Chains A and B, each alone.
Chain A
């Protein structure tokens, strides 16, 4: 980092706001009311002579006061040791410092991500998802303009640096830190479905000015919108200009236009209960009809039998059996004594290990720390280190869990095998034959079918298959306010961050470090 700040600062086309004030950089979504506050944070920091650290702190305060979805925003500023950067929402950042390239995506965090990248910093890029490619002569020496991002090279004083039109794509750079970065049009690791290179008529996307419409770098055709994972034929070959990070979030949106939710007339599946079947009081004995669930939202207390305070008891009572306190108390009950010498004591059986099954083998690559990864992703799903793909030779290895399904009641299912979700999944044939795990999901309104949804893992992808449920399944892709019906009996690949509505009132989210 030099004293003159970020050197040559090039704005990228787009519809957000780009600010370069007092040596500090901000890129944010202009549509958000918070943009003014963010600009204010930058101006205040600049006015008080603050550095990148102070800027990140101020911006974090602004973001922390926001409700709702994280705002798309990225800031960067110099600090004595290098550059401080913070990203939130669908924005992303890439900073090349002493230790190589560091990429940050706001989507990776529930709040925001920040990082201090040690210098000397040779490149800083902040992007909104729809940012275009930089025009080499464009400069934003200071001020606030409309744009989709910013890219800069602190080592450049400000004069036109590129000797020729973007040299990067063809020749793999000798070393990540010294090389001029790959052009910014490389898709950022965000799950935004429409990369800028497709000028898709999108309501909010202004037509970029002609001089900006340079073809946005070789489109990584290989990975784009592949419904199933390609068998990764040749990952050993040098990949230019970088891997295609998860572009697989597109298809569901395309295939499922906003349909009239939420009561499609599903095919009458004999296994499926009539819609909105009332919650019958469970008959006594062995029966797995919907039954009272203990709601999970008890006080987060340490596990174990303990002496509880008075308020704990009250809370426990209040949470006890939800609104339907005692209907099971009139049922008959059964028990089995466990005490030694009890009448029904039999020889102990060996405990079953319900755990799977050998893990399927998939092609992947190891990061520096030996974490096995999807070869399509740019950085390690476990430790976040950049995967410099051309040096990695993929091999077949056991697939790690692909993340978790987080249900609205807190249940968390590890995605290491297929699941069958429904009101009564245990009796489904595919569960009985052991090919999928059952996960019981009930809802008070009876809108979850007995066999409702299959979560099918395919290579590194997570697919949803609605099993012809009565009330259907809807998905809300990340960064999209709308829910879309998915067609029955067709696998739909979902990206991390996707919210899934099962029937009418239950939801879950696919969460993963991977692919996101």
Chain B
């Protein structure tokens, strides 16, 4: 793919859960100070879905938090939807340019928790907090990429664009049809924290990632639990995040408890 709208793509940055990221040169018109931007291309959607998605992104962009990725614009060309955001060369927790130290990884999760709190205070649920959406920065991390799959294709648990990777970071209640809530974001923060603290182990252990159906079956039949070698305080925090929805900490509570352990 060469580009979209007036973005010229430099290279692919890999797939997100419902589209592909590209590194692109910033067009003149964008009033931002950056040479490169990241553009996510989501493929064809109907006009209504485009409007819904743009509305969601605007709400996301309006939330002020130093820990949220800055969005630039959203648009469509010939029915193909895209949006652009700041480019962070260090990559994500899920696919870092260089493996972060454990402390840096935990700090990034704490930043993502702050970002989630800022969203929650504006009545927005992120819906897709995963290691792949926690981007690394010099000082910590930023939360990226609002989960738009439900917006673009209502009812879709997987949109058919990209890997199924994020289901193990999704509150099982949501997978079974419940509405996403701030508490389900906290579940995802707990799963992401477990992943980061254990060096890449999920709450369900090894998953047959090559086959979406087998993955779903394993997740439906396995109880999520702390599996990695975690410090007792971290294990306790993960359990609190993934336990009874009514008793989960807030996103800020998660951030504070991680900071206290650093």
Within 8 Å by CB of A305, from B14, B48, B62, B214, lies B14
A-B contact count (CB 8 A): 289
Q: A333, B4: Cβ atoms under 8 Å?
A: yes
Which residue of chain B has its CB nearest to the CB of A399?
B177
Q: A337, B160: Cβ atoms under 8 Å?
A: no
Q: Report chain A residues within 8 Å CB of B70.
A: 339
Q: Does A411 contact B (CB under 8 A)?
A: yes
Q: Report chain B residues within 8 Å CB of A439.
A: 153, 155-156
Within 8 Å by CB of A513, from B49, B71, B220, lies B220
| A511 CA / B212 CA spacing, docked (Å) | 11
Q: A329, B91: Cβ atoms under 8 Å?
A: no
Which residue of chain B has its CB nearest to the CB of A315?
B12
Q: Does B245 contact A (CB under 8 A)?
A: no
Q: B57, A338: Cβ atoms under 8 Å?
A: yes
| A439 CA / B159 CA spacing, docked (Å) | 10
Within 8 Å by CB of B73, from A332, A339, A425, lies A339
Q: A304, B1: Cβ atoms under 8 Å?
A: no
Q: Report chain A residues within 8 Å CB of B73.
A: 335-339, 342
Which residue of chain B has its CB nearest to the CB of A352?
B52
Q: B79, A287: Cβ atoms under 8 Å?
A: yes
For the complex formed, measure the closest distance between the CB of B44 and the CB atoms of chain A, giving whole angstroms: 4
The stretch of A79-87, A250-258, A316-324 in contact with B is A316-324
Q: Report chain A residues within 8 Å CB of B214.
A: 110
For the complex formed, measure the closest distance between the CB of A3 and the CB atoms of chain B, giving whole angstroms: 34
Q: Does A303 contact B (CB under 8 A)?
A: yes
Q: Report chain A residues within 8 Å CB of B64.
A: 340
Q: Does A483 contact B (CB under 8 A)?
A: no
Q: Does B46 contact A (CB under 8 A)?
A: yes
Q: A406, B212: Cβ atoms under 8 Å?
A: yes
Q: Does B99 contact A (CB under 8 A)?
A: no
| A312 CA / B10 CA spacing, docked (Å) | 13
Q: B160, A299: Cβ atoms under 8 Å?
A: no
Which residue of chain B has its CB nearest to the CB of A108?
B217
Within 8 Å by CB of B15, from A109, A301, A353, lies A301
| A303 CA / B135 CA spacing, docked (Å) | 11
Q: Mark B113-150, 1 if CB is under 8 A from A, else 0.
A: 00000000011100000111111000000001100001
For the complex formed, measure the closest distance between the CB of B232 and the CB atoms of chain A, giving whole angstroms: 28
| A182 CA / B62 CA spacing, docked (Å) | 64
Query: Interface majority SS on B: helix, strand, loop or mixed?
Result: mixed
Q: Does B227 contact A (CB under 8 A)?
A: no
For the complex formed, measure the closest distance between the CB of A361 and the CB atoms of chain B, giving whole angstroms: 14
Q: Report chain B residues within 8 Å CB of A271.
A: none
For the complex formed, measure the closest distance between the CB of A253 and the CB atoms of chain B, giving whole angstroms: 24
Q: A329, B3: Cβ atoms under 8 Å?
A: yes
Q: Report chain B residues within 8 Å CB of A354.
A: 52, 150-151, 154
Within 8 Å by CB of B133, from A300, A304, A312, A342, lies A304
Q: A351, B43: Cβ atoms under 8 Å?
A: no
Known: A401-B177, A416-B177, A513-B220. A301 touches B163 (CB 8 A): yes
Q: Does A348 contact B (CB under 8 A)?
A: yes
Q: B12, A333: Cβ atoms under 8 Å?
A: no
Q: Does B165 contact A (CB under 8 A)?
A: yes
The stretch of B81-89, B235-243, B247-255 in contact with A is B81-89
Within 8 Å by CB of A426, from B1, B46, B60, B145, lies B46
For the complex formed, measure the closest distance between the CB of B221 and the CB atoms of chain A, giving whole angstroms: 6
Query: Interface majority SS on A: helix, strand, loop or mixed?
Result: loop
Q: Does B55 contact A (CB under 8 A)?
A: yes
Q: Does A286 contact B (CB under 8 A)?
A: yes
Which residue of chain A has its CB nearest to the CB of B69?
A305
Q: Does B21 contact A (CB under 8 A)?
A: yes
Q: A304, B12: Cβ atoms under 8 Å?
A: no
Which residue of chain A has its CB nearest to the CB of B87?
A305
Interface residues of A in 325-379 (CB under 8 A from B): 325-329, 331-342, 345-346, 348-355, 359
Q: Mark A409-431, 1 if CB is under 8 A from B, else 0.
A: 11111101101000011100000
Q: A333, B11: Cβ atoms under 8 Å?
A: no
For the complex formed, measure the closest distance between the CB of B149 and the CB atoms of chain A, giving whole angstroms: 10
Q: Report chain B residues within 8 Å CB of A265.
A: none
For the complex formed, measure the closest distance between the CB of A292 and the CB atoms of chain B, giving whole angstroms: 6
Q: Report chain A residues within 8 Å CB of B216.
A: 404
Q: B94, A382: Cβ atoms under 8 Å?
A: no
Residue among B16, B89, B124 facing the most chain A CB atoms (10 A cut-off): B16
Q: Does A179 contact B (CB under 8 A)?
A: no
Q: B11, A308: Cβ atoms under 8 Å?
A: yes
| A245 CA / B249 CA spacing, docked (Å) | 43
Q: Does B35 contact A (CB under 8 A)?
A: no
Q: A412, B156: Cβ atoms under 8 Å?
A: yes
Within 8 Å by CB of B91, from A284, A304, A320, lies A304
Q: Report chain B residues within 8 Å CB of A304.
A: 14, 16, 21, 91-95, 130-135, 144-145
Q: Mark A366-410, 1 if CB is under 8 A from B, else 0.
A: 000000000000000011100000000000000011001011011
New A-B contacts (17) at CB < 8 Å, excluding given A294-B42, A305-B16, A354-B151: A109-B217, A303-B162, A304-B16, A304-B95, A306-B21, A331-B78, A338-B72, A339-B61, A349-B58, A350-B59, A352-B55, A384-B221, A417-B155, A425-B46, A426-B47, A438-B46, A440-B153
Q: List 5 A-B contacts (CB under 8 A).
A: A304-B144, A383-B221, A414-B177, A419-B155, A440-B46
Q: Name A residues whose Cβ lies closer than 8 Å to a Cβ of B.
A: 109-110, 282, 284, 286-294, 296, 298-308, 312-313, 315-317, 320-321, 325-329, 331-342, 345-346, 348-355, 359, 382-384, 400-401, 404, 406-407, 409-414, 416-417, 419, 424-426, 437-440, 442, 511, 513
Ranked 10 nearest A-B pairs via Cβ: A411-B160, A328-B78, A335-B75, A304-B132, A303-B132, A316-B12, A304-B92, A306-B95, A333-B77, A291-B79
